[in-house]
Structure 1
Amino acid sequence: MSSASRIKVMKSLKLLKNTWQLRKSVSVSTVMSCALLLGFSQPLTASAANLLEVVDIALQENLSLNSAETGLRSSQYDLDINRGKFLPSLNVSANTNWNDGTTHQTSGPNTNNSYNDHGVNVTLSQTLFNLGDIYSHTNTRIDVDIETLKTEQTRQTIIRDASTTYFEYLKSSAQIRATQAELNSSISRLKLITRNVELGNMAGTEKYEVLAQKEGTANTLRTLKKDQKIILTQLEMIVQRPLNPDYDLQSTIEFTEIPSDRERRLNDILYTSGYDLLIAQQQVKKSRQTLKETGATFVPSLTGSIGYTYDDTNDASATVLPDNGVTEEAVYTLKLDVPILNGGRDYYRYEQNKFDIERTEIDLQDSKDQSQQQFDEFIYNINDYSASLASLKTIIQANYASYNGIQKAHKLGTRTITDLLSAESKLFSSIRDYESARYDYIINLVQLNELIGNLNMNTIGKIAEQMSPVSDRKTDSPIPLHLLVQ
Structure 2
Amino acid sequence: MIDRRLTASVLAVLLFSHGHASAADLPQVVEQAVEHDANVAQARASYDAARQAVPTARAALLPQLSGGWGRGYNRIDTEDFPRSTYWQSGWTVSLTQPLFDWTRWTAYKQADVIEARGAVEFGGAQQASILRAAKAYFDELAAEDELRRIDDYLAAVDAESDQLQRRRDAGEATVIDLREAQTLRSEIVLQQRVAQNALQTKRRALEQVTGAPFEPLVRLNGATVLPAAAPADPDAWAAQAREHGFDVQMRQLDWRIAQYDVSKAQAAHYPVAGVTATYTPAGAAAGYARPTTTTTAMLTVTVPIFSGGELQAKVRASAALEDKARNGLLAAQRDAEAAARDSFARYEAGRERTAMLLDFVAACRDTLAATQAGYKVGSRTSTDVLRAMNALYVAQRDWRAARYDTIVALLQLKADTATLNLDDIAAISTLLMVQSGDNKPPA
| In 2, Cα distance between equivalents of 1:432 and 1:336 | 79
Q: More deviation in 365-374 or 334-343?
A: 334-343
| In 2, Cα distance between equivalents of 1:231 and 1:196 | 42
1:408 to 362, 365, 373: 373
Per the alignment, in what secondary structure is the counterpart of residue 69 of structure 2?
strand
Task: Please tell me whether Structure 1 or Structure 2 has the larger radius of gyration of its CA atoms.
Answer: 1
| In 2, Cα distance between equivalents of 1:93 and 1:308 | 11
| In 2, Cα distance between equivalents of 1:176 and 1:307 | 82
Q: Which residue of 1 aligns with 2:205?
A: 234
Matched residue type, 1:71: S
Q: Which residue of 1 aligns with 2:27?
A: 52
List runs of 5+ in structure 1 lacking aligned partners.
1-43, 103-110, 314-320
How far apart are 1:246 and its partner, in Å? 3.2
How far apart are 1:420 and its partner, in Å? 2.7
Q: Which residue of 2 aligns with 1:29?
A: none
2:70 paired with 1:95: yes
* Mapping 1:17-416, distance limit 5 Å: 48-98=23-73, 115-190=86-161, 193=164, 202-258=173-229, 261=232, 263-311=234-282, 323-416=288-381
Q: Percent sequence identity over matched residues? A: 20
- Aligned Cα root-mean-square deviation (Å): 3.1
How far apart are 1:348 and its partner, in Å? 1.7
How big is each residue's C-alpha offset from its partner over 1:436-479, in whole Å with a ceiling of 9 and x where there is no partner? 222222211111111111112332234334433225xxxx3875
| In 1, Cα distance between equivalents of 2:439 and 2:224 | 17
Change (3 A) 1:426 1:116: same
Change (3 A) 1:276 1:308: same
Change (3 A) 1:404 1:96: same
2:404 paired with 1:439: yes
Per the alignment, in what secondary structure is the counterpart of residue 87 of structure 1?
coil
Change (3 A) 1:360 1:101: closer
TM-score (norm 2): 0.85
TM-score (norm 1): 0.78
| In 1, Cα distance between equivalents of 2:232 and 2:358 | 27
List runs of 5+ in structure 2 lacking aligned partners.
1-19
Matched residue type, 2:206: L
Change (3 A) 1:79 1:322: closer
User: Are the counterparts in 2 of residues 312 and 326 from structure 1 also a CA contact under 8 Å?
Assistant: yes
How far apart are 1:131 and its partner, in Å? 0.7
Count of residue correspondences = 421
Q: More deviation in 180-189 or 446-455?
A: 180-189
How far apart are 1:168 and its partner, in Å? 2.0
How big is each residue's C-alpha offset from its partner over 1:314-361, in whole Å with a ceiling of 9 and x where there is no partner? xxxxxxx96532222222222222222222222122112222222222
Change (3 A) 1:223 1:345: farther
Per the alignment, in what secondary structure is the counterpart of residue 326 of structure 1?
coil
How far apart are 1:421 and its partner, in Å? 2.4
Change (3 A) 1:148 1:135: same
